[in-house]
């Protein structure tokens, strides 16, 4: 926690912050003393419960409802965050669509959905936030995916969208330097499907060097580490238990 102590009092905006990984990032940021704006769309009960939990504990957490597939929605979230807190220091592009799309079954709508949320909305939020992040010497952290480096079957459009996000992260790190740092986290097996039983988990983790799966907390800690690291930009940090080491 020493490295993220410098984040205390800073403003962080998290897309897809109402549940799962986004909620873990929001919770850890609030515990670090950050002022938090979270965007949610279909997770209203979870988002409102999270805000209530954290504000009761003394944190400054605020939620914004919006559909990032709609025109100008990412920009509106940034504007609303700055209007609410007066500034912005960290942007986390966590919102994303994850969908199985076997070859032969992929539609134009699949591509549209995946690229719009996973790439275009993230870029729009970054572009709109750049003037304020430049003023605050802020940071962007994009949630990528370790599957980009070791692809799996039946998710080609999803992995292609995350590959675009990886390239965008590195390109914008160069374009926005030196004022704004841009990095990414590439989670491996962390948030398990709810339907997996013990045997399915064993099969999935036996090829991971650390012989276990991660957690949303592991990913959230990596996000805040990168948000606080003043001499790191342009990197994609794998948080995958060592899977990226396999040849």
What is the percentage of the chain residues whose pLDDT exceeds 90?
Answer: 87
Q: What are the helix (H) ranges across 97-155?
A: 108-115, 121-136
Q: Quick one: pLDDT band at residue 5, thresholds 50, 70, 90?
A: confident
Whether the per-residue pLDDT at 207 is higher than 90: the answer is no
158 is catalytic: yes
- The number of distinct structural domains making up the chain is 1
Strand ranges of the sheet holding 90-93, from the earlier edge strand across to the other edge? 61-65, 35-40, 11-14, 90-93, 139-143, 181-187, 236-239
Confidence (pLDDT) at 195 = 82
Whether 246 maps to a domain, the answer reads no
Instruction: Decide if 242 is inside a domain.
Output: no
Residue whose pair of structure tokens reads 């799309």 in the numeric block: 101
Enclosing H/E stretch for 90 = strand 90-93
- d(CA 43, CA 116) in angstroms, rounded, equals 19
pLDDT of 2 above 70:
no
Tokens matching residue 2: 């020493």
163 is a domain residue: yes
Confidence of residue 201 (pLDDT cuts 50, 70, 90): confident
- The predicted pLDDT at position 4 comes to 78
Over residues 225-240, the pLDDT tens digits come to 999 999 999 999 999 9
User: Considering the domain boundaries, does residue 193 fall inside one?
Assistant: yes
Q: Is 87 exposed, middle or buried (0-12, 13-18, 19+ CB in 10 A)?
A: middle
How far apart (Å, rounded) are the C-alpha atoms in residues 203 and 198? Answer: 9
Which CATH number do you get for residue 106? Answer: 3.40.50.720
Has residue 191 got a pLDDT over 90? Answer: no
**Structural domain includes residue 56:** yes
CB within 8 A of 147, min separation 6: which ones?
155, 158, 159, 162
Query: 3-class SS at 12?
Result: strand
Q: What is the mean pLDDT of residues 18-38?
A: 98
Rounded to whole angstroms, how far apart are CA atoms 170 and 147? 17
Q: Can you give the pLDDT at residue 247? A: 52
Report, as an integer, the average pLDDT of 79-87.
98
Range of the domain at 215: 2-237
Catalytic residue among 40, 149, 155, 158: 158
- State how far the Cα of 225 lies from the Cα of 80, in Å rounded to an integer: 25
């Amino acid at each position: 926690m020493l490295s993220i102590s410098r984040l205390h009092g800073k403003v962080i905006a998290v897309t897809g912050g109402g549940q799962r990984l986004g909620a873990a990032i929001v919770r850890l940021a609030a515990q670090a003393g950050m002022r938090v704006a979270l965007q949610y769309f279909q997770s209203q009960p979870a988002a409102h419960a999270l805000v209530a939990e954290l504000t009761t504990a003394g944190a400054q957490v605020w939620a914004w409802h919006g559909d990032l597939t709609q025109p100008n929605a990412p920009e509106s979230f940034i504007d609303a965050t700055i209007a609410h807190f007066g500034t912005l220091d960290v942007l986390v592009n966590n919102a994303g669509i994850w969908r199985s799309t076997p070859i032969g079954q992929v539609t134009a709508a699949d591509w549209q959905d995946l690229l719009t949320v996973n790439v275009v909305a993230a870029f729009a939020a970054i572009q709109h936030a750049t003037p304020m992040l430049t003023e605050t010497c802020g940071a962007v952290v994009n949630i990528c995916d370790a599957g980009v480096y070791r692809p799996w079957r039946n998710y080609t459009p999803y992995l292609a969208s995350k590959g675009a996000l990886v390239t965008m992260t590195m390109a914008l790190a160069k374009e926005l330097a030196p004022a704004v740092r841009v990095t990414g986290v590439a989670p491996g097996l962390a948030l398990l499907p709810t339907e997996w039983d013990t045997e399915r988990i064993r099969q999935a983790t036996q090829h991971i060097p650390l012989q276990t799966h991660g957690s949303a907390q592991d990913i959230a800690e990596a996000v805040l580490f990168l948000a606080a690291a003043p001499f790191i930009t342009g990197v994609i940090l794998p948080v995958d238990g060592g899977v990226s080491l396999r040849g």
